[in-house]
């Protein structure tokens, strides 16, 4: 029995018409990871419900029967290092890696997802078409437009598709530089159909996404996922999840959340509530009451990270009664000064109270997320993080504490996109690990090297495409990237330019021609507010 035969589908795919577009929709990782992606499920369902699309799913380890001559090859791209698998799959289909080398008979390669919406430029030369933003309406608009020029030559197709809002055709934009290894001079369209600025598409409905398939083969076995909110209203200055997904949107309790729960419980008893800030849903208390009813006492409930000051005894009790043993909250730093800099509206008292409430409600553990290397951070701020964790331990003896910690990574479309990675971050991670282990606190640091690679890709421009192709052959270690930089010396800026250097406010950034939720001037105002607190 294949993994596809073990799926519980929660929709009925359309029967493709005889002239349906042969399409491959790929997730560039293993099935167990890809099928757990709610974004992948949503796009697959949208395509599968169209009778003018004949869709085949593809993962790196398994695939459905594939068409011999696909017209469209799509990728859902949600983790940066999956670019390696994208390039491998292009080679598997004997498709040139670079879009400008493809012929009329080869499929249009399109992609979407969080990585490409944030900053597609390091990967831009590999894609014919990039879909920016929410897929709910954008995907149908893209397919409708493609149908109208389906038989045209490749250039005509791309020029026509460029007129669809949210559709980005990288080959129709020319990037010039002050020098090969210097800053960007300009990014301009080279075709009248291509807009000067491409705005990402924003879905504004109140019916958000939910699982379209449930399977034991998923990384979260047999889970039915429900998107409670999209985005986060807090706007911490470093946070891509907040700035990129503005405005904050909530699912309707009556027309979205409750029907989704009932549908999910028809095939599984495991429900996952997703979103960056789900407890800030205006009717979250009512949702908790609904899930606390006696007929749901056998379900297992999982929730995403929640805002600290919304961890109530009621929330903890509901989770404990529904099979959850711990809750995850992001505090970023134990320093109130640093939290002021990053616009994290949170006090030490609220953090300690959240832990007290978690224990009082019956939870056994709590996981905190933090960062090192945030702008303006000093050694004393690291000491403050150690102290708050000590204070929590004293306030809730017996509650298992874990502190997960990463290095600050500058993200596009956020106020902190101008800051580089702090060179002191690696040392501070090691100091935290040494001190917290002494105090019996479970410390889980994210790899500093991985954070550096993230920063490179997050701030990368098109010149990185050649470098990414090289590193695929060298391996995915930080040393491989530095080796590739040496090989390409004088053909692109040095490693430190992308990773560690603070960029000027007036600098043209790689995503200058791509508009997210807020204009550059607003991001700079938010940046200035933070700097004034340093």
Could you give the C-alpha distances from 107 to 101, 125, 137, in angstroms and in order? 12, 15, 22
pLDDT tens across the length of the chain (534 residues): 689 999 999 999 999 999 999 999 999 999 999 999 999 999 999 999 999 999 999 999 999 999 999 999 999 999 999 999 999 999 999 999 999 999 999 999 999 999 999 999 999 999 999 999 999 999 999 999 999 999 999 999 999 999 999 999 999 999 999 999 999 999 999 999 999 999 999 999 999 999 999 999 999 999 999 999 999 999 999 999 899 999 999 999 999 999 999 999 999 999 999 999 899 999 999 999 999 999 998 999 999 888 998 999 999 999 999 999 999 999 999 999 999 999 999 999 999 999 999 999 999 999 999 999 999 999 999 999 999 999 999 999 999 999 999 999 999 999 999 999 999 999 999 999 999 999 889 999 999 999 999 999 999 999 999 999 999 889 889 999 999 999 999 999 999 999 999 999 999 999 999 998 899 999 999 999 999 998
Residue whose C-alpha is closest to residue 255's, from 292, 223, 299, 208:
208
DSSP H or E run through 271: strand 270-274
In the prediction, which pLDDT does 480 show? 94
Taking the C-alpha atoms of residue 90 and residue 73, their distance in angstroms, rounded to an integer, is 9
d(CA 95, CA 249): 39
- pLDDT at residue number 116: 97
- The whole-number pLDDT of residue 375 equals 97
Q: What's the pLDDT score for residue 473?
A: 87
- In this predicted structure, what is the pLDDT of residue 289? 93
User: Token digits for 392?
Assistant: 């929590």
List the domain boundaries for the chain.
Answer: 3-199, 222-459+503-531
CA 473 to chain CA centroid, nearest Å: 26
SS3 at position 43: helix
Q: Give 441-464 pLDDT, tens digit per residue.
A: 999 999 999 999 999 999 999 999
Beta strand pairing status for 223-227 and 229-230? Answer: unpaired
- Yes or no: say if 99 and 72 are a contact pair by the CB < 8 Å rule: no
Cα–Cα dist 208/196, whole Å? 31
Peptide bond into 247 cis (omega under 30): yes
User: Of 526, 524, 522, whose CA–CA distance to 507 is shortest?
Assistant: 524
pLDDT of residue 305: 81
Query: What is the b/e burial string over 187-219, where b = at least 16 CB atoms within 10 angstroms of the residue's CB?
Result: bebeeeebbeebebbbeeeeebbbbbbbbebbe
* 222-459+503-531, CATH topology level: pyruvate-formate lyase- activating enzyme (3.80.30)
Alpha carbon separation from 243 to 220, 512, 516 (Å, rounded):
28, 16, 8
C-alpha angle 417-205-260 in degrees, rounded to nearest 5: 105
Residue 529's alpha-carbon distances to 207, 241, 415, 461, 519, in angstroms, are 35, 20, 10, 28, 16
- The residue behind tokens 């499920």 is 41
- For 246, phi then psi, to 5°, come to -60, 150
CB-based burial, 291-326: b 16+ in 10 Å, e otherwise: beeeebeebebbbbbbbbbbbbeebbbbbbbbebeb
> Nearest Cα to 92, choosing from 53, 124, 60?
60
Q: pTM here?
A: 0.96
Distance between CA atoms of residues 420 and 171, nearest Å: 29
Cα(418)–Cα(129) distance, rounded to whole angstroms?
A: 28
CA–CA gap between residue 372 and residue 379 (Å, rounded): 10
> Which residue, 235, 313, 311, 237, is CA-closest to 276?
235
Within 4-102, residue ranges assigned H as helices are 31-34, 38-48, 83-92
Residues near 239 by beta carbon (within 8 Å), at least 6 away in sequence: 232, 411, 414
Would you give the distance in Å from CA 519 to the centre of its chain? 20
Q: Which residues contact 508 (CB under 8 A, 6 or more apart)?
A: 183, 184, 185, 186, 187
Q: What's residue 517's pLDDT?
A: 84
Q: CA-CA distance, 85 to 79, in Å (whole number)?
A: 11
The per-residue pLDDT for 372 is 98
pLDDT for the residue numbered 476: 82
Fold type of domain 3-199: Rossmann fold (3.40.50)
- Non-local CB neighbours of 40 within 8 Å, separated by 6+ positions: 27, 34, 76, 78
| β-sheet bridge partners, residue 273 | 226, 303
User: Residue 1 has what pLDDT?
Assistant: 60
């Amino acid at each position: 029995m294949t993994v596809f035969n073990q799926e519980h589908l929660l929709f009925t795919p359309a029967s493709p018409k005889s002239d349906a577009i042969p399409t491959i929709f790929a997730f560039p990782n293993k099935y167990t990871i890809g099928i757990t992606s709610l974004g992948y499920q949503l796009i697959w369902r949208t395509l599968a419900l169209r009778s003018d699309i004949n869709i085949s799913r593809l993962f790196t380890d398994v695939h459905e029967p594939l068409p011999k001559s696909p017209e469209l090859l799509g990728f859902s791209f949600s983790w940066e290092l999956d670019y390696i698998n994208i390039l491998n799959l292009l080679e598997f289909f004997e498709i040139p890696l670079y879009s400008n080398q493809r012929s009329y008979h080869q499929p249009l390669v399109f992609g979407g997802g969080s990585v490409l919406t944030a900053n597609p430029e390091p990967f831009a030369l590999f894609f014919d078409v990039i879909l920016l933003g929410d897929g709910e309406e954008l995907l149908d608009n893209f397919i409708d437009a493609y149908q109208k020029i389906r038989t045209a030559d490749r250039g005509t197709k791309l020029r026509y598709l460029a007129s669809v809002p949210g559709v980005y055709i990288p080959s129709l934009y020319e990037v010039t530089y002050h020098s090969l290894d210097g800053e960007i001079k300009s990014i301009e369209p080279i075709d009248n159909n291509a807009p000067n600025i491409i705005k990402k598409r924003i879905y504004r409905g109140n019916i958000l996404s939910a699982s379209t398939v449930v399977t034991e083969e998923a990384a979260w076995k047999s889970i039915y996922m429900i998107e409670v909110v999209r985005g986060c209203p807090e706007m911490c200055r470093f946070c891509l999840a907040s700035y990129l997904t503005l405005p904050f949107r909530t699912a309707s309790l009556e027309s979205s959340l409750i029907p989704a729960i009932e549908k999910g419980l028809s095939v599984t008893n495991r429900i996952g509530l997703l979103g960056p800030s789900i407890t800030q849903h205006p009717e979250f208390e009512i949702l908790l009451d609904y899930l606390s009813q006696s007929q749901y006492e056998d379900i297992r409930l999982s929730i995403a990270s929640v805002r600290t000051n919304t961890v109530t005894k009621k929330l903890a009790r509901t989770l404990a009664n529904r099979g959850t043993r711990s809750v995850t909250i992001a505090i970023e730093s134990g320093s109130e000064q640093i939290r002021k800099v990053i616009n994290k509206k949170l006090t030490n008292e609220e953090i300690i109270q959240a832990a007290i409430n978690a224990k009082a409600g019956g939870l056994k553990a709590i996981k905190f997320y933090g960062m090192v290397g945030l702008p303006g951070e000093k050694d004393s701020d690291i000491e403050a993080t150690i102290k708050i964790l000590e204070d929590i331990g004293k306030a809730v003896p017996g509650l298992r504490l874990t502190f997960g910690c990463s290095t600050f990574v500058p993200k596009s479309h956020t106020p902190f996109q101008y800051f580089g990675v702090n060179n002191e971050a690696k040392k501070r991670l090691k100091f935290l690990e040494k001190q917290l282990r002494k105090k019996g606190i479970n410390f889980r640091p994210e790899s500093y090297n991985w954070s550096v690679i993230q920063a490179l890709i997050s701030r990368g421009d098109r010149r990185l495409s050649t470098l990414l192709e090289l590193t695929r052959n060298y391996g995915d270690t930080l040393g491989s990237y530095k080796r590739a930089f040496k090989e390409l010396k004088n053909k692109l800026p040095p490693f430190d330019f992308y990773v560690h250097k603070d960029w000027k406010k007036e600098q043209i950034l790689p995503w200058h021609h791509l508009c997210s939720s807020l204009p550059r001037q607003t991001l700079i105002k938010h940046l200035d507010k933070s700097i004034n607190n340093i």
